[in-house]
Amino acid sequence: MEEKEMETKRIIPNQAGYKQAGDLLANGGIVAMPTETVYGLAASAYDDAAIARVFAAKGRPQDNPLIVHIADLSMLPWVTSQVSEQAKRCAEAFWPGPFTMVLPKGERIADSVCAGLDSVGVRMPSSQIARELIRAAGLPLAAPSANRSGLPSPISADHVLRDLDGSIDAVLMGPRCEVGVESTVISLTAHPPRLLRPGAVTLEQLKTVLPDIEVDPAVLDRPKEGEQVASPGMKYKHYAPKATLIMVEGDREQYCRYVNEQADGVAVCFKEDVDRLGVPVYCYGASDDGRTQAYALFEVLRRLDEDRIEKAYLHAPGQTGVSLAVYNRAIRSCGYRKVVL
């Protein structure tokens, strides 16, 4: 058995637990915390040394920026140098919730949080546990997903411990995450505003507040070689199981016929596909319900590894509503391998 580098504390999210975890963070520690989206690996957004520990624990590339989490609007000036009218409207519409804005970087934010950019992503999670921890620490917390870089994101404390036990100071042992995919990210430093990463706050909802918002090409396709990115989840192969995963675009009949003809893998499919498939199935929700897809996707991808699956064919979700976020994660999980029927 591999020897652990350190003891990772399991902390219960109560008054004493928040103080214990908050003290760790205030003193350069790194603590995994639940949010409504996925579990995050938190550190002080002011502390370059603590941020370096986050990158090391995850094996995360240094040019991939982090998102800073705040507990309430009074903390926003601690993170950004400018709060525009657009930012105020977006905060009123979508905070607290699974929504991140890229804004001008504040002076105190560690340079390593922003990967050399002069902007910073900031969000106010709707998770009461996350906000209580931020208050206990007395600091804005930079927090990428609490997993080894490139693997499926963690949606439970158990997932965190499978990846990072022995590499981080503590895990706040909260519930399973409600959303299941990371927050929507928009840039308000771009003109017009730009959607960088889709999430549970949908493009359709964003357009009610920002009618001129544009979708970054990297949402659906591989980013350009050498391109500097302003949001996590844009540049690298992400969210991927060890299995070879192939996205298959087509209707139910086309998908099922194609997968049945392959006979060399399993199906990552919708519940409506199950009865037509002659291979083992891993269902990730209903074809017309992006929220059930988002809730199940990373759990299913982790199950592929637990079951030592070598190859899987994923039925492509749609590209509207929350399904756009699922498509964005799925195409990266597949390493951009895709069959169009």
pLDDT in tens, 189-200: 989 999 999 999
Percent of the chain with pLDDT over 70: 94
pLDDT one-digit tens code per residue, 207-241:
999 999 999 998 988 776 655 555 555 555 567 88
pLDDT one-digit tens code per residue, 250-259:
999 999 999 9
Q: Where are the beta strands (DSSP E) in 168-278?
A: 170-172, 184-187, 194-197, 214-215, 244-249, 266-269
328: left (phi over 0), alpha (psi -120 to 50) or beta: alpha
pLDDT one-digit tens code per residue, 125-180:
999 999 999 999 999 999 999 999 888 999 999 999 999 999 999 999 999 999 99
- As beta bridge partners, residue 27 has none
Q: List C-alpha distances in Å: 308 to 74, 242, 263, 304.
A: 47, 8, 17, 6
Q: List C-alpha distances in Å: 209 to 67, 88, 203, 212, 291.
A: 22, 11, 10, 9, 22
Query: Both tokens of residue 179?
Result: 């959303």
Question: How sure is the predictor about 4, in pLDDT bands with cuts at 50, 70 and 90?
Answer: low
pLDDT at 154: 96
- As beta bridge partners, residue 93 has none
Q: Model pTM?
A: 0.93
Q: What's the number of CA atoms in the CB half-sphere (13 Å) around residue 99?
A: 17
Q: What's the number of CA atoms in the CB half-sphere (13 Å) around residue 3?
A: 1
Is 194 in contact with 215 (CB distance < 8 Å)? yes
